[in-house]
Structure formats: structure tokens, C-alpha cells
Amino acid sequence: MDVIRSVFQWLIDLGAPVFLAIILTLIGIVFRMKITRAISAGLTLGVALAGITLVVDYMLQNVGEASKAFVENTGVSLTALDMGWPPALGMAWGWQFAFLMFPIQIVVNLVMLALRWTSCLNVDMWNVGNKVLTAFLVTYVSDMVWLGFTVAALQAVAELKNADVTRYRLQKLTGIPGVSMPHPMFLTGIWLYPFIKVMDRLLPSTWNIDAQKLRDKIGVFGENHVMGFLIGCGIGALGGYGPSAVLTLGIQAAAALTLFPMVAKLFTTALTPVSEAATNFTKRRFNDREFTIGLDWPIMAGRSEHWLLMILTIPVLLLYALILPGNMVLPFGGLMNICLVVPLFFFTMGNFVKMAIGTIIGIPMQLYVATFFAPYFTSLAERTGGVEPPAGQQLAWFGMDISELRYIVVDAASGSLIGIALAVVTAVLAFFYFRGIKRDDLVFKAELEGTNVAPNT
Amino acid sequence: MKTIIVACGGGIATSQTVAVKLGNLLDDRGLRGQVAVEAININSIPSYLDTADAYVSIAQSGETTYDLPTFSGIPFLTGMGADEEFDKILTALGLA
């Protein structure tokens, strides 16, 4: 036992990129991948982690520096720089226990399928990272790794249940039968549901707009380089930079936002072979069963409402960030507010007006949660990648999936009475949510069967 | 050299998963050197219209139609019907 422990410790001490490269290679070999493919996947993961460190450091050196000037110049204390989801979820893989989440998710899924508690086979392995993050956050506050993974396993259970009770809603929105969506962000429905029901009462669903036309006009602002350039210039200008320095910062900020996805996709490249092996492993065990395939959210991304609303609410987000007392987060990498806008799309069936109202109400909560978690993400960056934010500067993630639930769970795990009270409220809301959303889903099911919708085209 | 684009919300997870799988299928047919597969952000599609030869969409419902041969990426995610869809892509690229 001591030998295993000291070998494991030695591996961890090699640093996250090396450690992860070795672990993923070993996992690949266990799953009977060709040895060269396994080594290639392992190295790619190490490269991804080293790469994400590089771009986060780059962001801190230019945008981070400028944001310090911005704070000094304006007196508005936004000292936590938002890096958005690609680096945040990427770095979660650098946590030393991250890979335990793979077997846990697979076992949870297998057991639930075997007991017929779910009909969803989750093949979305990218979002294993989302449960790694939950486990990390809970472990960080409680110092108990087992508690972190227990909460993460419960999240996996809730995701699968949620996928089951929304599958016909998803089919209605996408036209694709046989799929479901176990993405964590749709658990936001627990708190959204009462708001949605009130809006459904007050607002006629005929109030809508043609999102496509507007998006065609302003869609360019949703491209990373354009968005990065504008926000970089804005931060520079408010930081009192001269014209040439403002433009330079604009290009640097554009570079950071453009490079994030280019590097982050390496995580997918590295993890896809293992996730394929894991999926096949699970499928073989349930060959005779009919199940839905659990996919990531972008199968709904073709609709314009999401993107139009995300772009239109960027100024609202920045205004909130500037005026909300106690907010410390400067939105940057997470300007496109996917994790609030997409659940709103899902639960309002794409009604733009209701989505917009929900977003404007929800952003302050997201900013405060991002402020709350900034020390956690700063620590994650320091320990997994060796990123060193300058003194007084923190890293944050604005727009984290299920911001409200993660805050409540982590606060409760720290023993806070408010956190525990909110957790109880969440449990009650969850009861009504699952009951109500299932009823709604049966209505969609009846509609779909009645109209005999064309299969996947 | 032909170029296939795959798009999702960020050009990171879902689209790259499909891109990796397409890459493996190309490998199996010995076509890796002739086709580049690129995962991109769905908002960037207009910038790729001039250079891409085919678009693999994972979100066709409600999506604008672009002036590109367009295919479904869903079979590559679910594993059902992937070979058939892949053959269609190769035919459109003149590689079948």
C-alpha cells in the first residue's frame, strides 16, 4: 500500500501535464487501444494542459495587466479576470483525481440502466469534466475527496433523470428522435421552472421576434476575434491607455479568445478515443435494450435565438459588472452566456422575449457566484498548470454551468446555515420541477405521436 | 486538398468529437492526406464558406442553409448510420 502511495505521489509530483499524459496512456492500454494510439492520446492531453496554461498566462500578461490599469483608473474593483469555460473546464482535467470521474460516471450510468432508473446512455464524455469540476469545488471547500465525488456522482444521477424527463421536449425542438440531453446546465430548470411558469401565465407566447434576420446582421459580433478585439479596446480605453496601446490590447485580447478554443479542442482530441471505448463497453452490456443516446447541447445550436440573445446581452452583462456592488469579476472569456441562455431556450421552447427577461434577471446571480468561486479557480489554475496570477489578481469563470446549484452545494458542504437552508429549498423545488417537467414532457410526447413527426432529416 | 467543416457552440467539444471520428474514418480509407477536417464555432461558418467543400452540421433544425453541401453529424455522435453518412460525404467530395 505504501509503495502504491509513494509511486502515485511521485507521479503527481511530476506535475499535471506529465502525470495526466501517463494516466491517460495507461487507461488507453486498459481499454485495449493500440499502444501507439494510447501514447498519442496521452501526449495530446499533456499538450492540451500545457497549451491552456500558455494561453491563460498570455491572457493574464496583457488583458490582466490592462484590467489592473482599468481598476486604478476607474476605481471600480474588478480584480478577478473571467477566463470562460474552455480554460476552466480544461484545467479541471489537471486536478490530480480528475480521472476517477470516468469510471464513476460509467458505473452510475450502468447501474441506473440495469435498474431501469434511466433510459439514457450518456455518450457525452466532454462533460465528465463538468463533474470533475463539481468534485474539485466540493473537495476544495470540505477537504474531503470522497465527499467531492459523492456529490459529483449525485450530479450524474440527476443529469440522467433530467435527460429522461425532457427527451420529448428535446425531440420537439430538434426533430431528432432517440436522443436526450444529460448536460448539467439543464438542471438549472430546478430554479428556473417557477419563473418560467409565471412568465407563461403573464406573457402570451405569440410575443416573439424573428431572430434569424437580426442575427444575420450582428452575428459577426459573436465571433471570438471580433468580440475579443472590441472588449480589449474597451478595457484599454477605460484603463487610460493611449490609442496605439488600445489597439494592441485589442489584438491581444482577440488572440486570447481565438486561441482558447484552438487549444481546448485538444482535450477533446485526447479524450475521444477513451470515451469511444467506454461507450462501446457500456453499449455491449445493454445490446437488447432500447435507450436514448445522451448528447451534448449543441444539437440545438442551429437556432438563432441563442446567439442573438448572447450577443445582445453582452453590454447588459458589462454594465452589471461595473455597477453591482460586491462584484469583482471582469467578464472576458465567458462573454457568450451559454449556460443561462441555452437552458432558458430549452424551457421556454425558444421564446425570445421570455429568454431575454430570464437572462437579465439571472446575470447578477451569475456574477456573484463567479465572484464567490474566484479563489477556487485561481487555486485550480495555480496547482494544475502552474499559472501565476500577479498579486491582487484572481481568475474566475463567469457563466459557469448550474452556477446557483454549485454555489448552494459548496456553501452547504462548508457547513454554512444559509447554504443548508438553500439546499433544502432546492430539494423542494426539485421535487416540483421533476413532477411538472415530466408532465409537460408527456404532452410533447402526445403531440409528437399525434402529428407523426418526420424522423431525423 | 478538400476541407470539411464541423461546427458547434464553441468549436471545442461536440464538433471536435465529430472531427476526430471523421479523421479516423478517413484514416481507415487511406484518405487522411486528401481531406482536412476542421472543428469551428458555429458563428464563424460564414468566414469558411469560401474555403470549405462540405459542412457537417450537428444542429440542422432551424439552422440557416448555407451554400455548401451539408450533412448530418448526428450519426457520428450516436454511432448509428455513421458509415452511410460518411459515404455520402465522400461522394459529394468526389472521393468515393
HEC string for A300-327: HCCCHHHHHHHHHCHHHHHHHHHHCCCC
Locate cell 509511486: which residue? A7
* Residue numbers in B near A267 (CB within 8 A): 12
CATH number of the structural domain spanning residue B29: 3.40.50.2300
Q: Judging by DSSP bridges, how do beta strands A80-82 and A394-396 pair with one another?
A: parallel
Q: Which of B12, B15, B60 to mutate to test the interface with A (most CBs of A within 10 A)?
A: B12
Q: Does B8 touch chain A (CB under 8 A)?
A: yes
Q: What is the mean pLDDT of chain B?
A: 92
For residue A322, what is its C-alpha cell?
A: 461595473
Predicted complex ipTM: 0.91
Q: Which of B5, B6, B18, B20 to mutate to test the interface with A (most CBs of A within 10 A)?
A: B20
Domain that holds residue B39: 2-92
Query: According to the model, what pLDDT value does residue A368 have?
Result: 98
Given a cut of 80, is residue B88 above it in pLDDT? yes
Q: Does A307 touch chain B (CB under 8 A)?
A: yes
Q: Does B93 touch chain A (CB under 8 A)?
A: no
Of B9, B44, B78, the CB nearest to A298: B9
Amino acid identity at A15: G
Query: According to the model, what pLDDT value does residue A300 have?
Result: 92
Query: According to the model, what pLDDT value does residue B79 have?
Result: 84
Of B11, B47, B59, the CB nearest to A302: B59
A279-283, A451-455, B2-6, B50-54: range with lowest mean pLDDT:
A451-455
B26 to chain A, closest Cα gap in Å: 15
Q: Containing H/E element for B35? A: strand B35-41
Query: According to the model, what pLDDT value does residue A207 have?
Result: 72
- The backbone torsions φ and ψ at residue A81, rounded to the nearest 5 degrees and listed phi first, read -90, 125
Q: Does B12 touch chain A (CB under 8 A)?
A: yes
Q: String of b and e for B13-29 (b: at least 16 CB within 10 Å)?
A: bbbbbbbbbbbebbeee
A279 to chain B, closest Cα gap in Å: 10
Amino acid identity at A67: S
Q: Which of B61, B64, B71, B76 to mutate to test the interface with A (most CBs of A within 10 A)?
A: B61
Q: Does A55 touch chain B (CB under 8 A)?
A: no
Q: Which residue of A has its CA nearest to B9?
A: A298
Q: Containing H/E element for A421? A: helix A417-451
Query: According to the model, what pLDDT value does residue A4 have?
Result: 76
B35 to chain A, closest Cα gap in Å: 17
pLDDT band at B38 (very low <50, low <70, confident <90, very high): very high
Q: Does A349 touch chain B (CB under 8 A)?
A: no
A6 to chain B, closest Cα gap in Å: 35
With a cut of 50, list the residues of chain A below it in pLDDT.
Answer: 453-457
A228 to chain B, closest Cα gap in Å: 14
Residue A118 CA to residue A433 CA, distance in Å, equals 17
Of A85, A219, A299, the CB nearest to B59: A299
Q: Which of A85, A220, A296, A305 to mutate to test the interface with B (most CBs of B within 10 A)?
A: A296
Query: According to the model, what pLDDT value does residue A451 have?
Result: 61
Which one-letter DSSP state was computed for residue A298? G
Query: According to the model, what pLDDT value does residue B30 have?
Result: 92
Query: According to the model, what pLDDT value does residue A456 have?
Result: 45
Query: According to the model, what pLDDT value does residue A403 have?
Result: 96
A32-38: long-range pairs with CB below 8 Å, 24+: A32/A277, A33/A273, A33/A274, A33/A277, A37/A273, A38/A273
B78 to chain A, closest Cα gap in Å: 6
Amino acid identity at B74: I
Q: How many domains does chain B have?
A: 1
Query: According to the model, what pLDDT value does residue A126 have?
Result: 84
153-212 of A, contacting B, C-beta below 8 A = 173-176, 178-179, 212
